[in-house]
Amino acid sequence: MGKMQSTFEELLGGVGAVEHKRLPFPRLQDVARAGYEDLINSVYKSLGGVLTSAELNLRSWDLEFEGIAVELDEHLHFNRYRAITLGATAYANLPVFPLDAYRRYCAEFEDDCLRVGAYGGKWSNPSCERQFGVGSAQKILEGAGAPRWKQRAFYDFVKDLCPLVLGVKLARIAIWDSIIDSGTRRTVKDLLFQPTITSAEALVKLVRARAA
């Protein structure tokens, strides 16, 4: 667990109950039963998926707060591939999802994603290449690009469907989100590195709003 994730969990835990691995997350049978299998396969193919149909190997939620599934999205979650997934029609049925903000972050912060995610397993690995083919050389987004980035974007998209396929509330919090903390507008990233006495309540308010 990284520093931001650890601080995020600590702050939320100071206000309410934080749990792990109690809430379900989408599996292929859930997506199919809810009628979204064709959509996820379409998004998978739009990312360059090479298998006949999409496969899922999702991890549990980052944490769960007061019965809400919570994901803290750091640098690696914002890039051109995530922007592709955000064009899916399902977001029309997710009215509290921060769609405009997330699209903006994908455009504005791809360089930050490249800075921290252009090497090793953050760029590619055998599992990703099985799903998305062999990528380009590290740091080259043209052509085949980064298989691991594509996989992460795809898995994020499938998790976004959780309220629709499982009825579980989901709150995505980006490190680039800005909130008022101690009377000052700050990014979540800055807040997690230098929290104040009001930071926990500010984060909880954002989590609850994203899951409304």
**Total structural domains within the chain:** 1
The reported pLDDT for the residue numbered 18 is: 97
Say whether 190 sits in a helix, a strand or coil.
Answer: helix
Task: Kindly report the backbone phi and psi dihedral angles of residue 73, in degrees, each rounded to the nearest multiple of 5, phi listed first.
Answer: -95, 110
Bridge partners of residue 18, in order along the sequence: 65
Taking residues 73-78, what's their average pLDDT? 98
Residue 1 has pLDDT above 90, yes or no: no
pLDDT digits (tens, 9 = 90+) for 18-63: 999 999 999 999 999 999 999 999 999 999 999 999 999 999 999 9
Is 185 a member of any domain?
A: no
The reported pLDDT for the residue numbered 92 is: 97
Degrees to nearest 5, angle at CA 97 with 161 and 4: 95
When the pLDDT of each residue in the chain is averaged and rounded to a whole number, the result is 97
pLDDT digits (tens, 9 = 90+) for 113-156: 999 999 999 999 999 999 999 999 999 999 999 999 999 999 99
Within 10 A of 24 (CB to CB), how many other CB atoms are there?
Answer: 15
Is 205 a member of any domain?
A: no
The reported pLDDT for the residue numbered 212 is: 77
Is 108 a member of any domain?
A: yes
Q: Distance between CA atoms of 61 and 72, rounded to whole angstroms? A: 9
Percent of the chain residues past pLDDT 90, beyond the cut: 98
**Residue 61 contacts by C-beta under 8 Å, 6 or more apart in sequence?**
20, 21, 23, 25, 69, 70, 71, 159
pLDDT digits (tens, 9 = 90+) for 180-190: 998 999 999 99
Is 2 a member of any domain?
A: no
Degrees to nearest 5, angle at CA 8 with 6 and 11: 110
Is 104 a member of any domain?
A: yes
Is 192 a member of any domain?
A: no
Domain that holds residue 90: 16-176
Is 211 a member of any domain?
A: no
In the chain, which ranges are E strands? 18-19, 63-65, 68-73, 170-174, 178-181, 184-187
Q: Distance between CA atoms of 68 and 171, rounded to whole angstroms? A: 7
Task: Kindly report the backbone phi and psi dihedral angles of residue 174, in degrees, each rounded to the nearest multiple of 5, phi listed first.
Answer: -95, 145
Is 130 a member of any domain?
A: yes
pTM above 0.95, yes or no: yes
Taking residues 83-99, what's their average pLDDT? 97
